[in-house]
Amino acid sequence: MENYNISNTVVLVIGANGQLGSVLVKSLQEKFGVNNVIASDLRTREGYQGLFEIIDAITFERIEEVVKAYKVTQIYHLAAILSAKGEENPLQTWDINMKTMFNVFEVARLNQIEKVFYPSSIAVFGEGADKESTSNHAYLDPATVYGISKAAGENWAQYYFLRYGLDVRSIRYPGVIGYQSLPGGGTTDYAVDIFHKAVLGESFSCFLTEDTTLPMIFMDDVIRATIELMDAPKESIQTRTSYNLAGVSFSPKEVVEEIVKSYPNFEVNYEPDFRQRIADKWPKSIDDSLARNEWGWKPEFDLEAMSKIMIEKLKNYYNLVQA
Ligand code: AKB
């Protein structure tokens, strides 16, 4: 049965076919009802159940058309070109990441949208930040065009809040690990791919060195964080740039140690490529005390719990596919 949508919330998710969007949409459908969530992306998704609109967020008019047609009250803007992919064409990445963000903020401002979610990333940090327990207020000197666009975007989020009262909320996502979907174009992608290879009985070639520790988070935690942030009372959101969010930190070697508990013959070789330089600039661990104190964030999944679920779920998935 569809949930009773007491708040009359109608959500538009832009970038709904991505790693996070495809999972978030399901949680939003459960929360607000299938008919109150509009998924959108550049292409339709096979098998998707629910309302779907094709939106290229480069086009302001198209976003506004959908917002007006469905009387949208909240927008989640998840479309962006990530750290590794973004380096292939820096100027195009900048244009796409910034233009789509401005379009969303402007459509929201001009159409009395109640809340906007704008994801940032650990990619905003660079050499100038401490590597361990990186503070929310650490100096931001990102080294990728993706990181630069997110650092700028956070400041624009704050600007729209201070200047126009637009309620934009943001989290600096770590690498997201989930069995439901595949990441694309990021530096943390190895940590999802490695589980797929292990379960398929294949060896894995890792593009980072074995001791490259990065902040990561399990999908269930990150979805819960996003929804909790959006649900928090407005007064408690004191940080209008973006919140640090910590899940779990690990290196390729540590994740392999978990995987070999189930697959003792799993083989990994390390062939660092250009993504190593990106990862080397990022924090190893994150201080998320602002998120904990201001809206009660607390992660639930550590590396061991996350790895067990990844392996179980992917085993089921591949058994079904191969059956
Ligand atoms: C990436 O690796 O680019 C992303 C991120 C950390 O924002 N997963």
Instruction: Clarify whether residues 84 and 228 are in a common domain.
Output: yes
Note the pLDDT tens digit of each residue in 218-266.
Answer: 999 999 999 999 999 999 999 999 999 999 999 999 999 999 999 999 9
Instruction: Clarify whether residues 139 and 252 are in a common domain.
Output: no
- CATH number, domain containing residue 315: 3.90.25
- CATH number, domain containing residue 77: 3.40.50.720
Instruction: Clarify whether residues 186 and 168 are in a common domain.
Output: no
Nearest to 295 by CA among 158, 135, 170, 173: 170
Instruction: Clarify whether residues 21 and 143 are in a common domain.
Output: yes
Instruction: Tell me the pLDDT band of 47, cut-offs 50, 70 and 90.
Output: confident
pTM for this entry: 0.96
Instruction: Clarify whether residues 106 and 237 are in a common domain.
Output: yes
The per-residue DSSP string of 284-318 comes to SSB--HHHHHHH-------HHHHHHHHHHHHHHHH
Cβ within 8 Å of residue 288, ≥6 positions away: 136, 243, 244, 245, 246, 297
Note the pLDDT tens digit of each residue in 253-298.
Answer: 999 999 999 999 999 999 999 999 999 999 999 999 999 999 999 9
Of 146, 160, 179, 243, which residue is the catalytic one? 146
Query: Could you give the number of structural domains in the chain?
Result: 2
Say if residue 7's pLDDT is above 70.
no
- Describe the strand order of the beta sheet including 74-77 as a list of residue ranges: 51-54, 37-41, 11-14, 74-77, 115-117, 168-169
Predicted pLDDT at 3 = 47
Q: State which residues form the domain around 256.
A: 177-216+248-282+301-322
Instruction: Clarify whether residues 189 and 104 are in a common domain.
Output: no
Which of 146, 150, 212 maximizes ligand 1 atoms within 8 Å of its Cβ, making it the mutation to test the pocket? 146
Given a contact cutoff of 8 angstroms between Cβ atoms, the answer to whether 171 and 226 are in contact is yes
Question: What average pLDDT does the chain have?
Answer: 96
Q: Give CA–CA dist 173/142, Å, rounded.
A: 15
Residue position matching structure tokens 């327990």? 133
Note the pLDDT tens digit of each residue in 127-173.
Answer: 999 999 999 999 999 999 999 999 999 999 999 999 999 999 999 99
Say if residue 60's pLDDT is above 80.
yes
Domain annotation covers residue 293: no
Instruction: Clarify whether residues 117 and 259 are in a common domain.
Output: no
Q: Give CA–CA dist 33/260, Å, rounded.
A: 41
Instruction: Clarify whether residues 101 and 161 are in a common domain.
Output: yes
Instruction: Clarify whether residues 47 and 126 are in a common domain.
Output: yes
Whether 146 is catalytic is yes
Which of 19, 87, 144, 173 maximizes ligand 1 atoms within 8 Å of its Cβ, making it the mutation to test the pocket? 173
16-43 mean pLDDT? 98
Instruction: Clarify whether residues 146 and 273 are in a common domain.
Output: no
Longest dimension (CA), the chain: 58
Considering Cα of 280, then 123, then 100, then 182, what sign does the dihedral take? positive
Measured from CB, residues less than 6 Å from any atom of ligand 1 are: 82-83, 121-123, 146, 173, 175, 186-188
Predicted pLDDT at 46 = 86
Instruction: Clarify whether residues 272 and 165 are in a common domain.
Output: no
Q: Which ligand 1 atom is nearest residue 84's CA?
A: 3
